[in-house]
Chains A and B, each alone.
Chain A
């Protein structure tokens, strides 16, 4: 069995920042990433980030991975990276099992762990929602922006949050028609700047609308859409038809929390954080000692806050196992301040109401 100091599960924005923070403090870090490359979902984010300079505002997501990897490379003697490797379990005695490329199975016994497994896309219930041609909006983003393949010809986007708006714009950049964007809520959830851009391009955003039914023999051919009232009940007689071969479902994400649950971390369902999340202290340590968590797995937000949470969790995890840098206090305060700044808007207040329920 491999002995280790700090294992970081997930090489996305939170995991990479946790690794930078811990390795720069002097801890030896092992990053385990199930994909063949690091960066998580940053690899498909062609839009420019918000936030402040410290979270790479105005930089495109696709370029942020490179910046983080360069930073990580400064501490390369402290970093070991396993890509194409899936963590299959976290056990009571602290042992982690992992599978490399479907054939090499191994065990690691670390002093501490940062779980940064991210989140995954939710589905939406309506008749025939399983037809090929109906995809998660993030899936379509991967197909287009990573592999250069169009999802189809005409798209109906379901969900007017930031992902729905951004992916609609990216579909048009790829030369795909977006027929309309729907949202069951009476108001657009995403930033106005994104919504205005979409509207200027002539795409209607239909609030208080939902999908009544998808129609198609083997693949999606048509979508029936209808209005909903203030209680989200469908209103008869308001049906509209869209001839589309693609529907993107962008109704939010939910934390990937299986490993934390398996390890015995106390979990709580928090609607504001989009699912079951671990209880944690201000250092991002869960109820299981030396098991830390950061990023979307602790509550769905944005890559900007995931990065700062990663820095903070990595710093505190390293400190817990004996690597306390001289500027520990200043760095910790800075990360806390950055998170507070990121959560200062109306969406942030919603997130904070969720965080209040899990901080112990």
Chain B
């Protein structure tokens, strides 16, 4: 799902790094957000809604709508659409409102 050739843009990808999503190893690039890396890996469902447990993906991708909240390295409610991916990150779908550590 990555763009290979583009008429205007050149994508200078950072170093290839590894992280886990719900325990599974996934690859991404330094300099991209968690949500972008997950999307490139084919993951569109980032969480579940609080009451009806409907699937949630990102909507705005600029940190406004809170539709992309996930648990990252144990911390709840991380806006994955604006948070940079880091090597070795542990990313999980969040159940419920999340617990403040």
Contacts and interface: CB of A to CB of B under 8 A. Distances in A.
Contacts of A143: 36, 39, 61
B63 interface: yes
Interface string A107-150: 00000000000001101000000111111101110111111111
A4 interface: no
Contact of A132 (B13, B56, B60): B56
A130 B52 CA distance: 12
Interface stretch (A33-41, A182-190, A235-243, A301-309): A33-41
Nearest to A86: B63
Interface residues of A, number: 37
Nearest to B46: A132
A219 B2 CA distance: 19
Contacts of A147: 11, 32-33, 36, 40
Given A35-B82, A219-B57, A173 B62 contact: no
Contacts of B2: 148-150
Interface in A60-75: 60, 62
A271 interface: no
B9 A139 contact: no
B39 A120 contact: no
B54 interface: yes
Given A120-B64, A149-B39, A218-B45, A133 B57 contact: yes
Nearest to A149: B40
A251 to B, nearest CB: 13
Nearest to A148: B11
A352 to B, nearest CB: 28
A143 B1 CA distance: 11
Interface in A174-215: 174-175
B44 A219 contact: yes
A139 B59 contact: yes
A149 B60 contact: no
A151 interface: yes
Given A149-B3, A149-B40, A136 B63 contact: no
Interface string A61-95: 01000000000000000000000000000000000
Contacts of A138: 60-62
Contacts of B15: none
Contact of A145 (B9, B40, B59, B82): B9
A148 B9 contact: yes
A338 interface: no
B16 interface: no
B62 A148 contact: no
Nearest to B47: A132
Contacts of A173: 6-8
A46 interface: yes
A312 B13 CA distance: 38
B19 interface: no
A129 B40 CA distance: 22
Contacts of A150: 1-3
A130 B63 contact: no
A175 B45 contact: no
A36 B9 contact: no
A149 B59 CA distance: 15
Interface in A39-65: 41, 46, 60, 62
A134 B59 contact: yes
Contact of B44 (A60, A62, A132): A132
B13 to A, nearest CB: 7
B55 A132 contact: yes
A10 B2 CA distance: 30
Q: Which 8 A-B pairs have the closest CB atoms?
A: A132-B57, A139-B61, A148-B11, A147-B36, A132-B44, A142-B61, A149-B40, A120-B64
Interface of A: 34-36, 41, 46, 60, 62, 120-121, 123, 130-136, 138-140, 142-152, 173-175, 218-219, 256
12 contacts: A34-B63, A120-B64, A120-B65, A132-B44, A135-B58, A143-B61, A146-B36, A150-B1, A150-B3, A174-B3, A219-B44, A256-B64
